[in-house]
Amino acid sequence: MAVRFDADAEDYTQALALGSQAAISASCWAKVSVDRNTFSTAVSLDNGTSDAVFLQTATDGVTMGVYEEPLGNFAGTGRAMTVGTWYWLAYSISGTSGTMYSRALSDTTVTTSALTGLQATHNIANLRLGESAWGTEWLNGAVCAVKIWTAALTQNELESEALLYRPQRIANLVGWYPLHRPETADYSGNGRTLSGGAGTAQEDGPGISWGPGRSRIRKYTALSPPPAFSGWGVPI
C-alpha cells in the first residue's frame, strides 16, 4: 500500500535539524499518476531553496533525477518514468559525488547514474514528501517505503532496502516512513513525526514485502500470502 498525493499542499514535512552532512542516502518507491509537465517532487532534503537535494522530475514531469542546490540543476542523468508505473528510487551521496539508482517494477536490473558537481556538505534542516522547498513542485502520484540515512550506503545495501518496507540498515537511520497508509508516524524510533498530509489517500503500492519472510502488503489491516520475492533476476 502507499500514500497518494493529488493536489498541492498535501505534502508531509519534518524539521529534521540534522545540520551539515557530507554523506546522505535515501530510498523510496514512487509513481507518477498524472503528468503535470513540470517539476514534481517525491522526496526533498533541504535548508530552503539554496541548499537542497531533491528526488524530483524535470520540467517534463516524468524524468526523475537528483536535483541539487546550489548546483541549480540535476546532478546526473534522470530516469524516464512511465505514468502509472512504480519505480524504486534511491541515491547515495558522499561529498561532491554520488550515485542514483532506479528500477521499474517490471525491470530485472537496476539502472545507475553518476552524480557529480555536488556541494561537499548539505545542511539537512527539513524533510518534505510529495513537495520541494519551492512549494509549488508537488507530486501528482504516490510514494511509500521512505528511508533516510546520514551515511553513504553501498549499492548492495540500497538494493536490499528496495525489496522491503522495513529498513535493513539501522546504523545512521534518520527516519523511516512506510506510508502504507496516510499517517505521520516515524517508524525508526527516532521520534521524527511528520506534519501535514491532509487530503492524501491510500492506494495500492508496489507489492513489496514488509520485512524478511513477510507477505506483500495488499491492505494495511492484513497481510496476503503470495510467494516471496525471489531476487532481482525476476520482476516483483
CATH code, domain carrying 6:
2.60.120.200
Residue recorded with cell 509513481: 31
CA atoms within 13 A on the CB side of 158: 29
**What is the Cα Rg of the chain in Å?**
16
For residue 234, is it within any domain? Answer: no
Phi, psi of 156 (to 5 degrees): -60, -40
Residue range(s) defining the domain that contains residue 134: 2-223
Q: The pTM is what?
A: 0.90
Question: 553501498: which residue's cell?
Answer: 154
**Total tally of structural domains belonging to the chain:** 1
Cα separation, 78 vs 75, whole angstroms = 9
**For every one of its 236 residues, what pLDDT tens digit does the chain have, with 9 covering 90 and above?**
999 999 999 999 999 999 999 999 999 999 999 999 999 999 999 999 999 999 999 999 999 999 999 999 999 999 999 999 999 999 999 999 999 999 999 999 999 999 999 999 999 999 999 999 999 999 999 999 999 999 999 999 999 999 899 999 999 999 999 999 999 999 999 999 999 999 999 999 999 999 886 555 443 332 333 333 344 443 44
In a domain, 231, yes or no: no
The answer to whether residue 229 sits within a structural domain is no
In sequence order, what are the beta bridge partners of 100? 91, 113
Question: Residue 228: inside a domain, yes or no?
Answer: no
The Cα 40–Cα 52 span in angstroms is 15
> Does any domain span residue 230?
no
